[in-house]
């Protein structure tokens, strides 16, 4: 990943006070017992005031249907992962690793938002959004050949 936004980065932008921009994606998690949820936010790609909620909701049905079983939220700030000598120009990673899933969780929805604050404008750039199972060694015990 470069220290400047590259093609494929998501830009969410709101121009009016309390206006919200939203993006979401459903993920199949029916074979997992836990997950790592993370994303990278471009530190120099933010403007204005407002909030940037990042969350993942788990559901008891496929395709993010049925009932919400749990909500996992990410912090708005994280560790610099690129250009560590100048955090203002690099990407920072926010994550919640190794989160146990509730029994019966079949799908999860990643939601990212920007909600404009008193200045009436808010935007940011995101990349490398991941919802993955934690590394597991022999999850089903030893496999025979």
What is the spatial distance between Cα 131 and Cα 108, in angstroms, rounded to a whole number? Answer: 9
Predicted TM-score (pTM) of this structure = 0.76
CATH number among 3.40.1000, 3.20.20, 1.25.40, 2.60.120, domain 20-132: 2.60.120
Q: Domain ranges in the chain?
A: 20-132
- pLDDT, tens digit, 9 for 90 and up, residues 90-141: 777 888 888 999 999 999 999 988 888 887 777 777 888 888 888 754 455 4
What pLDDT is recorded for position 4?
44
What average pLDDT is seen over the chain? 79
* pLDDT value of residue 137: 45
């Amino acid at each position: 990943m470069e220290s400047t936004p590259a093609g494929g980065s998501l830009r969410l932008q709101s121009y009016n006070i309390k206006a919200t921009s939203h993006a979401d994606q459903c993920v199949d998690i029916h074979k997992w017992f836990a997950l790592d949820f993370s994303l990278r936010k471009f530190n120099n790609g933010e403007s204005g005031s407002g909030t940037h909620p990042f969350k993942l909701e788990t559901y008891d049905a496929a395709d993010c249907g049925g009932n919400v079983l749990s909500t996992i939220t990410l912090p708005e700030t994280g560790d610099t992962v690129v250009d560590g000598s100048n955090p203002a120009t690099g990407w920072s990673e926010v994550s919640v690793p190794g989160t146990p899933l509730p029994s019966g969780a079949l799908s999860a929805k990643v939601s990212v938002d920007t909600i404009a604050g008193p200045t009436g404008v808010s935007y940011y750039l995101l990349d490398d959004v991941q919802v993955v199972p934690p590394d597991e060694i022999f999850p089903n015990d030893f496999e025979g050949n």
